[in-house]
Amino acid sequence: MMPYSAMIVDDELLMRQYLAKNLHHISPRWVVACSAEDGVQAVEFLSQKAVDLVITDIKMPDMDGLELAKYIRRMAPMTRIIIVSGFDEFDYAREALRCGVRDYLLKPLNDHKIAETINNIADELDMQSSSRTVEPPQLAESVPIARNTLVEAAVDYIHAHYNDTISLDILAEHLGISSNYLSEIFHKMIGQSYSKYLTHIRMERAVALMRARPDMRIYQISERVGFISDKHFSTVFKRYYQRTPAEYMALLAAEDRKTET
């Protein structure tokens, strides 16, 4: 089988040259078709030549990695994207996922991690090629290429319905896949379980309400972020922030008074 094609995008010359020279040695299943020093140059290349994978730095002049990922998702949705970043930040990873990124690798890179990641993508491409005849109802669980789209849809659903009573089973049913499969791909792509992610969103929203509406009662905040019981909300909140909701609200009030003086 012919090796798959990759593009390297990085404004750091040494990193760009290293990957361009060594990617095929790291994994013989891949060859570097071209390289670019920024997102603008990458777009020019992609308009002339399709590739199976783009490995891009996140911080670049003119057009950064996230902007490039958005372009690729719109113009070449079958192309896989790996973002390389020196920023171990949850918000960066979440935004990358929303842009259709397949993997988010942290610097410094090592050959073993690169090989593991690009070989997994090659496996997915192999499976996609061999499963084109699968019936539509089976497609979501049979073709891993759908994972990015499914997880992104799951994230969007959580953001839209965090204040409702939702569960993994409800979300899986909404997406038309099994809860076990959703749990597996969600953890792989996000780096944490569905329940932890939902808790993260609910806790963020709870604190946002505390800041915006200091007059709200705890039970009201609890209901607004999807908890049936304010007691359960208080337990989860304290575990997450190491303070009870009342203590946290008092701390915010003290900060406001300090700002006013």
- CATH ID of 196-260, from 3.40.50.1820, 3.40.50.300, 1.10.10.60, 3.40.50.620: 1.10.10.60
CB 84, CB 10: distance < 8 Å: yes
CB 163, CB 173: distance < 8 Å: no
pLDDT-based confidence at residue 91 (cuts at 50, 70, 90): confident
pTM: 0.53
Q: How far is CA 131 from CA 102, 137, 195, 250, in A?
A: 20, 13, 31, 57
| pLDDT tens, position by position, 130-172 | 543 344 444 444 444 456 778 888 888 888 888 887 888 888 8
pLDDT-based confidence at residue 128 (cuts at 50, 70, 90): low
The domain over range 4-130 is classified in CATH as 1.10.3720.10: no
Nearest to 140 by CA among 187, 93, 172: 172
Q: How far apart are the C-alpha atoms of 173 and 181, rounded to whole Å?
A: 11
3-state secondary structure of 6: strand
pLDDT given for residue 62 in this prediction: 81
| pLDDT tens, position by position, 175-221 | 888 888 888 888 888 788 888 889 988 998 898 889 888 899 999 99
Residue type present at position 160: A
pLDDT-based confidence at residue 261 (cuts at 50, 70, 90): low
DSSP 8-state class, residue 145:
G
